[in-house]
Structure 1
Amino acid sequence: DIIFSTINNLVFYNQNKPFFIVSPIMSDEEEYLLLERVYSQINSYLTYPKITDLLDIFKKYGTISNENGIKKELYQYFYKTDKNTTIENQSLGIRHLIQEDLIQINVSANDWQSALFTAALPLLQKNYINRSYIEKIIENVNSNRTSFLITKNVSLAHAKPEDGVNSLSLSITVLKKPIIFKNDKIPTQYIFTLAAVNKTSHINAMSELVALLEMPDFYEILNTATQAKEILTFIKSRFP
């Protein structure tokens, strides 16, 4: 009935169904705006309140000293109150997935293929994934025009659970020099390789990753750390 995709493909437009391009990882605001767009297309009698309209009402009767702050909280409030589905392993956060030996810094790579392989190698060495999983990640980029870029300089590499995942896990790789991946126009310097065992158990960890990627000091520690444990300590301090 509805098509959601992270890639823009003409085939989807020919299905005569509502089609939405989405980011693999979205903030509360982006998720809320997506819901707003979906409801406006498929449910003319059901609407989501527009945050901009609410702000206009507030301004009529008072003074807003921090418009961006209140807007962010409104998006969080209205979106989170709509999350009624219980997520399996909801307490499993990023601190449960990240280990010191899954963090690599100052990594050299000659091309995007070697960058993706090296980024996933710690997961393979701990048997969290099979070699086929890495091969599938690279194959997807080559054959499906897949882009793992989720924000500036950051890529979230992944494939499907059935492609060779043995255990839920996540690795962090900081490249010495940024590399432009095939299908991308801007370079990647930070690669997060995700191995998910199903559709839900990694959701909470990914939500925390989004929060980390919005922290300027997270990039600072990624760039300046001389040991992996410095990055691990930072993450645990933010999500104890």
Structure 2
Amino acid sequence: MDCFMSLLSLIGDNIVISNEKHLSVNAALDITCSKLLEQGSIDVTYLEAIKQKHKEIGAYYVLAPKIAMPHARPEDGVNEASLQVTVFKKGVDLGSEDNGDVYFSITLAAMDSDSHIQTIMALSELFQNSNDIDSIISAQTKDEIIEVLKKY
């Protein structure tokens, strides 16, 4: 049986639309992990690991213009495979010189590298579709975001 889970099944209700401006990197990362922490999908050590790695090597998780995928290793504190979608309406400067401000973030919490690869493949398909990315960024409600994500 195929154990592939749709993106939506990993996201559930983990969708945050933030209208905050001038967020610091750490404040933005706090938001990108907020739902996962609330639900216990990750421990605070996972968020700390992302912040620590950012300090060491910069915005490694900013993948393309507008898009970020904060993540650390499963052993850094993942309790349950899950994703959180965060839209930063005003954009956030995470210090990526190549890609500019981030508007759309998917926090990836994977239990192991196998399930991880399936999820990454689905995400990369989404990330390559600039129309869908723009629809997500301009969405006013979680439901509008869910409609777009249903395709993946």
Matching of residue 235 in structure 1 with residue 149 in structure 2: yes
Match of residue 103 from structure 1: 15
Instruction: Give the C-alpha shift of residue 90 in structure 1.
Output: 4.7
Task: Specify whether residues 202 and 194 from structure 1 end up closer, same or farther in structure 2 by C-alpha distance, changes over 3 A only.
Answer: same
Q: Distance in 1 between matches of 2:24 and 2:2?
A: 36
Matching of residue 150 in structure 1 with residue 63 in structure 2: yes
Alignment of 1:151-230 (within 5 A): 151-182=64-95, 184-185=96-97, 186-230=100-144
Alignment of 1:30-109 (within 5 A): 90-99=3-12, 101-108=13-20
Unaligned runs of 5+ in 1: 1-87
Instruction: Give the C-alpha shift of residue 217 in structure 1.
Output: 2.6
Q: Deviations over 1:146-169 (max 9, x none)?
A: 511111111110011111110000
Moved more, 194-203 or 106-115: 106-115
Q: Deviations over 1:114-156 (max 9, x none)?
A: 0011111100001000111111111110123451111111111
Q: Distance in 2 between matches of 1:108 and 1:223?
A: 14
Tell me the secondary structure at the aligned position of residue 95 of structure 1.
helix
**How well do the aligned residues superpose, as a CA RMSD in angstroms?**
1.9
Question: TM-score normalized by structure 1?
Answer: 0.58
Q: Distance in 1 between matches of 2:58 and 2:18?
A: 28
Task: Specify whether residues 126 and 149 from structure 1 end up closer, same or farther in structure 2 by C-alpha distance, changes over 3 A only.
Answer: same
Match of residue 54 from structure 2: 141
Tell me the secondary structure at the aligned position of residue 173 of structure 1.
strand
Match of residue 117 from structure 1: 30
**Which AA in structure 1 matches 2:17?**
I
Structure 1 stretches of 4+ with a deviation exceeding 4 A read none
Comparing both chains, which one has the higher relative contact order based on Cα–Cα distances under 8 Å and sequence gaps of 6 or more? Answer: 2
Q: Distance in 2 between matches of 1:224 and 1:130?
A: 30
Identity score, percent: 27
Q: Distance in 1 between matches of 2:120 and 2:20?
A: 26
Task: Specify whether residues 143 and 216 from structure 1 end up closer, same or farther in structure 2 by C-alpha distance, changes over 3 A only.
Answer: closer
Task: Specify whether residues 89 and 123 from structure 1 end up closer, same or farther in structure 2 by C-alpha distance, changes over 3 A only.
Answer: farther
Q: Deviations over 1:151-207 (max 9, x none)?
A: 11111100111111100000111112222223x212212111011111111221221
Unaligned runs of 5+ in 2: none
Contact kept? 1:161, 1:197, Cα under 8 Å? yes
Q: State the structure with more CA Rg.
A: 1
